Structure 1
Amino acid sequence: MAHTPIEDDSAGNSPITTPEEEVIMDETEEQGSDEEMDEDENEEDLVVSADKVEIIAGAHSDQTAMTFAFKEEDHTLGNSLRHMINKNPEVDLCGYSIPHPSEAKMHLRIQTTENTTAIDALKKGMDDLYDLCAHIRQTYEQELAKGDFERVDASGDSKMV
């Protein structure tokens, strides 16, 4: 099976690119510090590096069905992203697989209705997953700030803080 690498630019940043359209996804290669993540509430779309995601070649004329290969990813991202993408009513099928346990690679297959493309469904799924994680983080930090929790030490004894 042939693989189509994502086009790379000289700065080392590259968007996912198809022959007909260029899409920049909201995903980062590495997670920044807490301060960096909180800096800009209205973040712009970030570029996915060519060494992170590639589109596995198939019928190039059919933009509604594509397989994406995510490098250095596993079930954590695969299952979460699959769930978020499947919630989109424009998606007919979304599934993921790990081709081989010794390979650090995850394949994500997306098939959509004629109303959208697989790339758009992936972008929406990534945006939705990012928003969900941001909400969970914000809620956790708010509850933690209240200080209404128990501490459990190594012996199993708990005390209110």
Structure 2
Amino acid sequence: MNAPDRYERFVVPEGTKKVSYERDTKIINAASFTIEREDHTVGNILRMQLHRDENVLFAGYKLPHPLQYKIIVRIHTASQSSPMQAYNQAINDLDKELDTLKSAFEAELAMHSRDY
């Protein structure tokens, strides 16, 4: 078969950064973040979290090619913020939200496992 190993899709090779940042030279307060070894799952949830920020004017992502295991997230912010601040805030907010979801799931699981 011509497809690469599944392992390659998710493990970041040694010496490769998970996230790289590239500032846009044509648009003020715009940048691209390349996130290695991720797909639509992370791209879409990150894009939606960025849209919740009132200082974000544009947030989108793309997969450059189906055989390249990375996404490119593009962020354009108002002058009160920067793309790096918006990205970091979105990641922190998602981390808190997922911790809350995990805690609620574990509480429900513990409650239902006592019933059996």
When normalised by structure 2's length, the TM-score is 0.80
Q: Which amino acid aligns with 2:40?
A: H
1:130 aligns with 2:95: yes
Partner of 1:83: 48
- Partner amino acid for 1:69? T
Task: Considering fraction of residues, name the structure with more helix.
Answer: 2
Structure 1 residue 67 and structure 2 residue 32: aligned? yes
Q: Deviations over 1:100-144 (max 9, x none)?
A: 000001000001111000000000000011111101000001111
Distance 2:23 2:57 in 1: 20
* One-letter amino acid matched to 1:73: E
CA distance in 2, matches of 1:57, 1:65: 6
**Residue correspondences, number:** 104
**SS of equivalent to 1:100:** coil
Q: 1:50 to 1:125 in 2, by over 3 A?
A: farther
Q: Which amino acid aligns with 1:87?
A: R
Is 1:54 matched up with 2:23?
A: no
Which residue of the partner structure matches residue 93 of structure 1?
Answer: 58
- Map residues 1-161 of structure 1 onto 2, 5 A cutoff: 51-59=17-25, 62=28, 64-147=29-112, 161=116
The alpha carbon displacement at 1:60 in A equals 8.0
Offset of 1:53 from its aligned partner?
1.1
Deviation at 1:57, TM superposition (A): 4.8
Larger radius of gyration: 1
Greater length-normalized contact order (CA 8 Å, ≥ 6 residues apart): 2
Shift of 1:97: 0.4
Indicate conservation of the 8 Å contact 2:23/2:30, yes or no: no
Alpha-carbon offset, residue 58 of structure 1:
2.6
Taking structure 1 as the reference length, what is the TM-score of the superposition? 0.58
Gaps of 5+ in 2: 1-10
The aligned amino acid for 2:90 is G
Q: Is the 8 A contact 2:34 2:72 kept in 1?
A: yes
Cα 1:61–1:92 change in 2 (3 A) is closer
